[in-house]
Amino acid sequence: MEVLISEIAEQVGRSVTLKGWVHNKRQSSKKLLFLQLRDGSGTIQGVVALNEIGEAGFDAAAAATLECSCEVDGLVRADNRAPSGFELTVTGFRLVGPSPDDYPLQPRGKGEEAHGADFLLNHRHLWLRTPRQRAIMRLRDRTVFHLRGFFDSRGFTLIDSPILTANACEGTSTLFEVDYFGRPAYLSQSGQLYVEPACQALRKVYCFGPSFRAEKSFTRKHLTEFWMLEPEVAFQTQDGNLELQEAMLKYVVEKVLDNDAGLIADIHDKRGLDFAADEESAEEVLARLERARDEAFVRLTYDEALEVLKKNGEPLEWGDDFGAPHESALVRDFDVPVFVERWPAQAKAFYMEPDPADERYVLCDDLIATAGYGELIGGSIRIHDIELLKRRIDEHKLDLADFQWYLDVRRYGSVPHGGFGLGLERLVQWLGGVRHIREVIPFPRTIKRLDP
């Protein structure tokens, strides 16, 4: 019977057929060799003994090369010494697709230099097959699943926002322009302008999709194409917006701790050929996540944050945005993520509602992650007064003509509303303890990288 390795526990004592790839091979004698088999659902060791499989089968298995694909018949045995708890006594081996000896990602032996990041990224299409990368992709998938579960449980409707847009949402300096039948269009920086009208139709909505920024920054937190989840809620308040962000993250953290902690262990497993320059161990990541689950997040105003920065040796002018050193200096004092709310209007986008307590500030927040992963979330209450919004569009040197439909949101039954944008890759980095953002998206796009 054909089975997946993930289902092998139910097959102990039975003969099965697996289809997959040879991840590694070790021959211990002329009569005995071991295959590490991988089928996408798991890995298992196949024990190939001449006296069990016969000469022709043994020769075929002995000729197997790294990453060739194959069909393997065998008897499933429980084995406490095996990492998965099971082993396969191989009784048949058939090659499906050969893999020449020049497979680029050869495992590195003792004393051999590890593959460099650039080399691995150039072979991203093959790098994805390795244990750490598979675990990261699974964690990304589970994270999206839990996020969707959270918003579904709270009665939100998913609204897909367009990728091709005529408007700038987050400033004109990071727009990717494309020729749209002779007129300029831009790849979406954010779906916010579209979920704002949608929340007047469906009250609680979110979009989730790729976002594009022509970011000149070459850091471990920036991509030019990343995925953003953006909830938008009619009649939202500043406190309600923060509460939603914190509840969402606590929900995802709890689900990951309950269901996916094994993936975090796999990500940080030092065996295998992976490039790994993480600063944290799996244990440190789990302890950090437990704190985020159990303790209230820190809430600072922008002005309070400036005080912390001064004390921690990274002073900032009032009105300036944080850079990476400021984010690190700010969270040094805290064990859980830190909200920085009520920023000076001049540091933020055109659409943010002034703070009624002091109009030099706007009702907004950035959520800064612990352990150096930077800004996870940017959110705000949106201006709902049409005249003020027109003035702000003007002040930000945006063309009012492009925003007529957006102004309709304020013309017809305007209400206070607000939401936020969560960067999926930043979240997966923080959940998994993955130092560099390029590992948490299947095919990363950065200034220098457009392929594979």
**Binding-site ranges for Mg ion (CB under 5 A):** 378
Q: Residue 299 is which amino acid?
A: R
**Rounded least distance, CB 106 to Mg ion, Å:** 41
Burial of 39 (0-12, 13-18, 19+ CB in 10 A): buried
In this complex, which beta carbon is closest to ligand 4AD, that of residue 130 or of residue 238?
Answer: 238
> In this structure, what are the phi and psi dihedrals at residue 288, rounded to the nearest 5 degrees?
-65, -40
Binding partner of 213, given ligand 4AD, Mg ion, none, CB within 5-8 angstroms per partner class: ligand 4AD
C-alpha dihedral (125, 129, 135, 137), degrees to nearest 10: 30
**Rounded least distance, CB 364 to ligand 4AD, Å:** 8
Binding partner of 223, given Mg ion, ligand 4AD, none, CB within 5-8 angstroms per partner class: ligand 4AD
Residue written as token pair 């220098």 = 448
Binding partner of 57, given Mg ion, ligand 4AD, none, CB within 5-8 angstroms per partner class: none
In this complex, which beta carbon is closest to ligand 4AD, that of residue 88 or of residue 139?
Answer: 139
In this complex, which beta carbon is closest to ligand 4AD, that of residue 90 or of residue 330?
Answer: 330
Binding partner of 266, given ligand 4AD, Mg ion, none, CB within 5-8 angstroms per partner class: none
Q: Report the C-alpha gap between 253 and 294 in whole angstroms.
A: 10
In this complex, which beta carbon is closest to ligand 4AD, that of residue 375 or of residue 408?
Answer: 375
Residue written as token pair 């703070």 = 355
Q: Residue 78 is which amino acid?
A: A
Binding partner of 420, given ligand 4AD, Mg ion, none, CB within 5-8 angstroms per partner class: ligand 4AD
- Here the tokens at position 282 are 């799996």
Q: Which residue is nearest to Mg ion (CB)?
A: 378
In this complex, which beta carbon is closest to ligand 4AD, that of residue 91 or of residue 167?
Answer: 167
Tell which phi-psi region holds residue 33, choosing left (phi > 0), alpha (psi between -120 and 50) or beta.
Answer: beta
**Rounded least distance, CB 375 to Mg ion, Å:** 5
In this complex, which beta carbon is closest to ligand 4AD, that of residue 20 or of residue 421?
Answer: 421
Peptide bond preceding 315 in cis form (omega within 30 of 0): no
Question: Residues interacting with ligand 4AD, by CB under 6 A?
Answer: 169-170, 190, 192, 213, 215, 222-223, 226, 228, 230, 375-380, 419-421, 423, 425-426
**Rounded least distance, CB 293 to ligand 4AD, Å:** 20
Q: Report the C-alpha gap between 208 and 151 in whole angstroms.
A: 11
3-class state of residue 442 by DSSP: coil
Binding partner of 192, given ligand 4AD, Mg ion, none, CB within 5-8 angstroms per partner class: ligand 4AD
In this complex, which beta carbon is closest to ligand 4AD, that of residue 18 or of residue 340?
Answer: 340
3-class state of residue 154 by DSSP: coil
**Rounded least distance, CB 21 to Mg ion, Å:** 41
> In this structure, what are the phi and psi dihedrals at residue 215, rounded to the nearest 5 degrees?
-75, 125
- Here the tokens at position 135 are 């675990």
